């Protein structure tokens, strides 16, 4: 699919992603506001859309979103990477119920292990948010809210490649509070993750085993609400040389509510754990993180808000050689920050100013700012924004001894830093919602292993990313039609070489129809252009998906999904396989 054909498809279909300007975001500016009021490009994926997609994992759900590129080293559960607006995979901040879940050692978020059935909603905020969230939010923020269940529920899914998923939940609530619990498990025989000729190739199937537990509770304390959430997952991931055991936990204890008529707050104590053990490589990584976050929203009249807060974080990480019993490194870092944001409306204009100061053990202080101005007119809005971002070095980059002294960490590293400009247009023409966003991001002091003869980690690299996103949606009676496209140029600013695994073009089309008798059908088409990888160029590909859902009795749904319906051969990473046509059947009781 060429660039001209992609544009022609979008022009012919007044459609797009299933987001809506009426949805509410709490992530973009740390306070509840409609997507139409947020001076940023935001997508909100609600639970109904997750159910309708029948996607087996987060990668399959997010691949149809504008501005998101994905790679994976095999089938479900294998190591995955997400590139938001062309930035690196560690430039997107992942939050689960407000808690950071990235590994302190590698800086990566193993989002492939986040179970979709435990998720209530996903907010994707594109563009830098460092002035509100600090480190990592260079490309944007992906915030996940887990589910609070009411009553009993269950799910059973059977699929190709030996897939068996099951989940059960129960919740109860009254006027004083609520409590719910959900458990889930997945077994996936999988396929050979690597291709013939790849390093260490073994033709056996590389499977995946997953278990998860989710808890939520809340209690009303006068005008305040006390709430708790916890998500724990355990995984066994097969690969050609062995098995990796992964354990992840995220917990949050929150009290929130009004402090006066015009003043509300949200105080959160969060904790995260990430353990990875690969016996075949005698490698064990461990992360522990505690986080305090206190955010205030002060209304200055009807159209002005002052958002301010403080953040404290303590993270510990270690890398152990399990063969020798030696600790390669064990370190802890403390991090404190304060921020303030001014958001409001003046006539037909919207404005936002934010400033944050971070004090970090590894590099000292860092101030970041952002500003945005929007003009509302009948049927739409145009806005411009500027923002800074940074990423603190992870523990591997700081303290790893490397391999015989090669590729070692460097405790003198500075943070990576960025600045971005964006111009956005939102239009609502009857039942049609149209969005156009153009952005320019420059990243300096990128960390690379190029220091001297031993290739020590140093701040030497630079990146330049320019892009345009088009999204459009239309509902016509029982039809829901949507499409989006992303055009980007992501390059090393010094060598002018394309950044790896980031296509220049991508487009998605979705069409759904409701028969009105409990039967819904839908299809999607996703195109990704060729892109550079470590040992060559990955070919362009087009995936077609089909799905149907039948509500055959009260609270009962039977669904079927055919992924890669045309059995396309494609690759998301050089040397690694991807599934062919995959049929999944889901029975859901809500």
- Looking at residue 590, its pLDDT comes to 87
Helix (H) or strand (E) holding 102: none
Residues near 302 by Cβ (< 8 Å), separated by ≥ 6? Answer: none
Q: Does the structure show a pLDDT above 50 at 508? A: yes
Judge contact between 295 and 30, C-beta under 8 A. yes
Q: Which of 32-36, 165-169, 243-247, 557-561 has the lowest mean pLDDT?
A: 32-36
What the chain holds in terms of domains, given with CATH numbers, is 3-589 (2.40.170.20)
Q: What are phi and psi of 108, to 5 degrees?
A: -90, 150
Burial category of 177 from C-beta neighbours within 10 Å (exposed 0-12, middle 13-18, buried 19 and up): middle
Terminal-to-terminal C-alpha distance of the chain: 40
Percentage of the chain modeled with pLDDT above 70: 96
Residues near 187 by Cβ (< 8 Å), separated by ≥ 6? Answer: 162, 163, 164, 165, 207, 208, 209, 210
* Mean pLDDT of all residues in 43-67: 95
Burial category of 85 from C-beta neighbours within 10 Å (exposed 0-12, middle 13-18, buried 19 and up): buried
- Looking at residue 430, its pLDDT comes to 82
pLDDT bracket for residue 18 (50, 70, 90)? very low
Judge contact between 51 and 551, C-beta under 8 A. no
pLDDT bracket for residue 21 (50, 70, 90)? low
103-132: pLDDT as tens digits: 999 998 999 999 999 999 999 999 999 999
How far apart are alpha carbons 234 and 239 in whole angstroms? 16
- Looking at residue 20, its pLDDT comes to 60
Q: Does the structure show a pLDDT above 60 at 19? A: no
pLDDT bracket for residue 241 (50, 70, 90)? confident
Residues near 322 by Cβ (< 8 Å), separated by ≥ 6? Answer: 277, 279, 282, 283, 284
Residues near 223 by Cβ (< 8 Å), separated by ≥ 6? Answer: 257, 258
371-419: pLDDT as tens digits: 999 999 999 999 999 999 999 999 999 999 988 888 999 999 999 999 9
- Looking at residue 197, its pLDDT comes to 85
Token representation of residue 409: 């960490």
């Amino acid at each position: 699919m060429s660039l001209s054909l992609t544009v022609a498809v979008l022009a012919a279909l007044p459609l797009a992603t299933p987001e809506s300007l009426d949805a509410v975001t709490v992530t973009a500016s740390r306070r509840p506001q409609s997507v139409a009021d947020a001076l940023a490009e935001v997508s909100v994926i609600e639970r109904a859309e997750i159910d309708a997609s029948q996607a087996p994992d987060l990668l399959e759900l997010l691949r149809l979103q504008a501005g998101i590129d994905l790679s994976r080293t095999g089938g479900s559960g294998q190591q995955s990477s997400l590139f938001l607006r062309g930035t690196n995979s560690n430039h997107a901040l992942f939050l689960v119920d407000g808690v950071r879940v990235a590994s302190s050692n590698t800086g990566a978020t193993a989002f492939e292990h986040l179970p979709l059935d435990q998720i209530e909603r996903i907010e994707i905020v594109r563009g830098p948010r460092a002035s509100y969230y600090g480190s990592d939010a260079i490309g944007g923020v992906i915030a996940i809210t887990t589910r609070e269940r009411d009553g009993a529920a269950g799910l059973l899914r059977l699929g190709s490649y030996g897939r068996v998923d099951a989940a059960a939940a129960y919740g109860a609530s009254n006027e004083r509070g609520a409590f719910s619990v959900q458990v889930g498990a997945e077994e996936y025989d999988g396929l050979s993750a690597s291709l013939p000729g790849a390093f260490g190739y073994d033709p056996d199937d590389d499977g995946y085993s997953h278990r998860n537990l989710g808890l939520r509770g809340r209690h009303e304390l006068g005008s305040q609400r006390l709430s708790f959430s916890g998500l724990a997952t355990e995984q066994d991931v097969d690969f050609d040389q062995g098995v990796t055991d992964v354990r992840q936990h995220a917990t949050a204890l929150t009290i929130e509510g009004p402090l006066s008529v015009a003043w509300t707050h949200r105080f959160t104590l969060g904790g995260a754990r990430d353990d990875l053990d690969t016996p075949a490589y005698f490698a064990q990584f461990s992360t522990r993180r505690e986080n305090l976050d206190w955010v205030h929203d002060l209304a200055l009249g009807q159209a002005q808000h002052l958002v301010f807060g403080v953040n404290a974080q303590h993270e510990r990480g270690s890398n152990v050689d399990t063969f020798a019993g030696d600790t390669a490194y064990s370190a802890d870092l403390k991090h404190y920050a304060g921020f303030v944001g001014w958001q409001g409306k003046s006539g037909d204009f919207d404005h936002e100013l934010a400033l944050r100061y971070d004090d970090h053990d590894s590099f000292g202080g860092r101030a970041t700012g952002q500003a945005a101005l929007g003009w509302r007119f009948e049927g739409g809005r145009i806005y411009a924004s500027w923002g800074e971002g940074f990423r603190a070095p992870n523990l591997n980059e700081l303290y790893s001894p490397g391999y015989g002294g090669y590729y070692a960490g460097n405790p003198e590293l500075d943070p990576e830093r960025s600045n971005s400009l964006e111009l956005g247009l939102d239009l609502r023409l009857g039942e049609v919602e149209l969005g156009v966003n153009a952005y320019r991001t420059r990243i300096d002091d990128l960390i690379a292993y190029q220091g001297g003869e031993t290739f020590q980690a140093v701040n030497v690299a630079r990146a330049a990313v320019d892009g345009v996103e088009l999204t459009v949606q239309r509902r016509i009676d029982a039809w829901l039609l949507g499409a989006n496209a992303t055009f980007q140029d992501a390059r090393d600013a010094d060598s002018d070489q394309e950044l790896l695994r980031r296509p220049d073009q991508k487009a998605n089309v979705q069409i759904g129809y409701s028969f009105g008798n409990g039967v819904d059908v839908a299809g999607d088409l996703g195109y990704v252009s060729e892109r550079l990888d470590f040992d060559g160029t990955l070919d362009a590909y087009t995936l077609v998906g089909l799905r149907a859902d039948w509500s055959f009795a009260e609270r009962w749904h039977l669904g079927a999904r055919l992924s890669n319906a045309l059995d396309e051969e494609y690759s998301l990473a050089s040397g690694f396989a991807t599934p062919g046509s995959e049929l999944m059947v889901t029975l859901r009781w809500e």
